[in-house]
Amino acid sequence: MKNFTLIIGAVYGLLSVILGAFGAHALKKVLSVEKLQSFETGVKYQMYSALFLLIVGYILKFESPSEKWISILMIAGTFLFSMSIYFLSFSEVWNTNLKFLGPITPIGGLLMIISWAMLTFYFVKTRF
């Protein structure tokens, strides 16, 4: 799980840099200002999660189920959160109704929040 967390963290970081550059240059002409801001939010949170996963991958030993769930929830939450935002950003360009993805974004965000809360609880439990 440790290696998986580190690999996903590195992949999320790589993709967020690529998508961020793509958004800053190519998408300005394609997306509305509002959709571009949403896209950038997805990129920003994906990078935060990449850093989170890299740090957690080095700090945790992944010996307990809670340590594994900290990683799993962040990986899944980031995927749901950012990917749903990316697709929703392109809904006008693709002329497709993707509003069904709307509820996916907060579910992904909730999984990320739970991961952060579990990490906080882990530190409180192991450090005090």
Closest CA to 42 of 8, 86, 72, 75: 86
Range of the domain at 13: 2-127
DSSP category for residue 119: H
Asked whether the beta carbons of 23 and 46 are under 8 A apart, the reply is no
CA separation, residue 64 to residues 55, 95, 100, 111 (Å)? 17, 46, 36, 19
Q: Would the pLDDT of 128 be above 80?
A: no
pLDDT category at 120 given cuts 50, 70, 90 is very high
pLDDT digits (tens, 9 = 90+) for 89-104: 888 778 888 888 889 9
Q: What is the dihedral of CA 123, 83, 33, 27, to 10 degrees?
A: 120
> Which own/partner contact pairs does 24-30 have at CB distance under 8 Å and 24+ positions apart?
30/93
Whole-model pTM above 0.75? yes
CA distance 86 to 125: 37
Number of domains in the chain: 1
pLDDT digits (tens, 9 = 90+) for 45-59: 999 999 999 999 999
Show the 3-state SS of 31-44: CCHHHHHHHHHHHH
Tokens read off for 123: 């530190």
CA distance 62 to 28: 42
